[in-house]
Structure 1
């Protein structure tokens, strides 16, 4: 039996049956002119569906808010043309026997004024603050925040209507949902601000409202991270108790699965408690909530993508490490990003023991693939 066999065991959550434990992580590519995914986008996902990827999570696709996008070539998740394009993507993936989720996205204050398909609108944010806590807009009213929640909920409902197998909310990496989580950017005094648990209510309400509309069995995934693109060292939860308070909001709201983004999957989340070989972010999340957990972070490659652009070096961790952690039950699914971006047959090569054909690339080489 192959050492990598645990990656290819089936897994079911919320009634969704996956052929294996490999998830394609969402990766922005900006290949959808005017926000419309075309045949090339359908082909891109179908190739990976045909090559042993258990679940495909699409690149971020933006909700029906004028400020949700910073790039006219990022796909939208509203409008007849964009939704027709996404319906075709779903059909092509399903023809290959694959399963697919859209990643529902709003870029928040990552959008600079004058950018995106609606350059004249101001950017959405929790409190009108930049990632460096500089005030630039008036704090949105509670009613304005509720309208953004509705746009996210509409996206999840649309995912089900289009035939997507599940949907993921992007709540990581310094984009809008994550901005609500982060005390630097969320200084609200209503129900969406205050403690970490209170700051989680924005995402909690998205999940709860969507759950009412899509029913108890449609899988909803939430992607979260401690780190931000603006601050690699940022932490939302400094202790397991804080993490429990945070995650319980989503569990109580009805989330099906949590996608825990780390820059490097092998780094322990709380080494002061369980040591340098302790549970990673996904491991602690599963331990606390009992919910299915996806781990991600430089799986299958030696370098950290963002760190490579910042001139950081990264120690290598062999693929067998994440497989051993999976086999022990630390988490349930393994998301693979750049390795699948550069090679649609990556999963098949692992499955067939063709490790000698797997390649690593540095950040500069990966960038040429966009």
Structure 2
């Protein structure tokens, strides 16, 4: 196997805008590429491409907004080099034919015109695919047959004669990327996809020259890198994304991952470091405290001299990361889900306004509710995600200034009030409680998302002040004279359909029951939050669900995470069990829409919005509030 070293010759100076003293805002280099700062948008699968993988206006505007938001480098989502056998489920981008160059070039120009650089991520699923997702209903392919992934379809083994063709798929994708004007390519060798399958002893049990000891298991990836380098030349930046460890039995051990990084060092220009695969999804999509993956990047940086990119809910650790980059513990900071929540994260932070960032809640609705179910990615706190052009039009000043009353300061009411005020209307909120946030306070009572929910409430409070929205707390809209308002939006949410102890009221008040043993009855996300909070207060807690699962209105990852926390606290969970009855049972079944001022609703001047109108949870609330205000 030959070895080709990269060329790190310096490029000429570039205009990166006003100087900023903080290390994260200093320019950085990856090979011959100079970036305006140390922020990278991590590759996130959006499914915004067309059904056949072409770049369209939705995908262009999504990337344009994030380039305008200030990151130095955008790495596209997993872009297919093998549409027939190796595309991911849904609507991925593709780069497996020259016909896709036109759309890819438009995407590149949109990003570059905003001052950012863009790399395309070359991707092949390997075994992490389903037979129904292949073009001819063939089994997915893998180094070794029969070792299924989280997707559940047994793969067939790759014949040795097929390997040169697979390597060439990556090389041709890189050739097309350079021709389309991309600034760099990244090889997706992370998260259990084909490149990492060859590297992992769990998924590579071959006995030929492509399996066995690390040198053989690394051979496929290294030959892919060499083939890509031959196509793009020594001056074109090549990045490699890898899971440096697979934290499950038989997976890639950390020491092998670090040794592999040393093999890659002379061949690539940067290492983009993460961990895990979709069999250990909570590793690569953490809902745990920020920075859980950062140790991997620092461990790699201690072993190599080329730039290293770290990832893992890092918007919460910006101050710490200034020191880490300044001390050369890592070189670049990748933002993933946080860029879905707020494309202007970097710009706001640079301006010294971090409190204005919509910080990702890490509830994984984007992934588990939508992406895993073949739908376009959405965000519970960013109504404009995937609708950037339409959302921009919605923010245009209104032709006529109106007087708007919003009833309810939960997520829906806040979103409606903020957009209406941004458009120039005279906006007032009335809120029955003594604080902004609505049911957010109940969802944030348990420790799991307390910091995230608390931050979101503070965000809404701050933005309402800045927008000049008058907030009247402790005021029931039923007592307000509506005649002086041009528009009334009733964002009064939902109310309990049960008699007895309401879980939302209990969590909102934070009143701990006197009894040492407490039963929660309900199948909802709220039931999980209530049981978890009670267990954290030291109560022996039993959660009874009438359904066959718990948190059935939540996404699978969140429900599983909360259930695991309940188990760790010693709580009992019973499913498919009837209502035990009793006045002391905390009730968290499906709620009903509020009917406050129901007789006044006319669908024109007075409208119901949010979960009161649409049902659902936070996503439905924020969407409804934002787009209702867009119509005024």
How far has the Cα of 1:267 moved from its partner? 4.5
The question of 1:330 aligning with 2:329 is answered yes
From 166, 178, 182, the counterpart of 1:160: 178
**Which residue is equivalent to 1:245?**
259
**Which residue is equivalent to 1:273?**
none
Q: How does 1:1-370 map to 2 (within 5 A)?
A: 5-33=22-50, 34-116=52-134, 118-131=135-148, 136-227=154-245, 236-239=252-255, 242-252=256-266, 254-262=267-275, 263=284, 266-267=291-292, 280-301=295-316, 318-360=317-359, 361-367=361-367, 368-369=378-379
User: Unpaired segments of 5 or more residues in structure 2?
Assistant: 1-18, 276-283, 368-377, 380-385, 387-632
Aligned-partner SS, 1:173: coil
Aligned-partner SS, 1:218: coil
The normalised TM-score by structure 1 is 0.84
User: Unpaired segments of 5 or more residues in structure 1?
Assistant: 269-278, 302-317
Q: Which has the larger radius of gyration?
A: 2
Distance 2:236 2:363 in 1: 36
What is the aligned-residue RMSD (CA, Å)?
2.6
Aligned-partner SS, 1:190: coil
In the alignment, is the contact (CA less than 8 A) between 1:349 and 1:355 conserved in 2?
Answer: yes
How far has the Cα of 1:186 moved from its partner? 0.4
Q: In the superposition, relative to structure 1, how do residues 238 and 31 fare at CA in structure 2: closer, same or farther (>3 Å)?
A: closer
Moved more, 358-367 or 143-152: 358-367
Distance 2:250 2:71 in 1: 31
In the alignment, is the contact (CA less than 8 A) between 1:51 and 1:348 conserved in 2?
Answer: yes
Distance 2:21 2:143 in 1: 43
How far has the Cα of 1:72 moved from its partner? 4.7
Instruction: List per-residue Cα deviations over 1:109-147 (Å, max 9, x = no partner).
Output: 11111115x142321211123246999455322121221
In the alignment, is the contact (CA less than 8 A) between 1:128 and 1:135 conserved in 2?
Answer: no
How far has the Cα of 1:343 moved from its partner? 0.9
Instruction: List per-residue Cα deviations over 1:274-312 (Å, max 9, x = no partner).
Output: xxxxx82222222212111111112115xxxxxxxxxxx
In the alignment, is the contact (CA less than 8 A) between 1:50 and 1:97 conserved in 2?
Answer: yes
Distance 1:289 1:183 in 2: 23
Distance 1:299 1:9 in 2: 18
The normalised TM-score by structure 2 is 0.50
Aligned-partner SS, 2:94: coil
In the alignment, is the contact (CA less than 8 A) between 2:142 and 2:156 conserved in 1?
Answer: no
Q: How many residues of Structure 1 are paired with residues of Structure 2 in the alignment?
A: 337
Distance 1:245 1:191 in 2: 19
How far has the Cα of 1:52 moved from its partner? 1.3
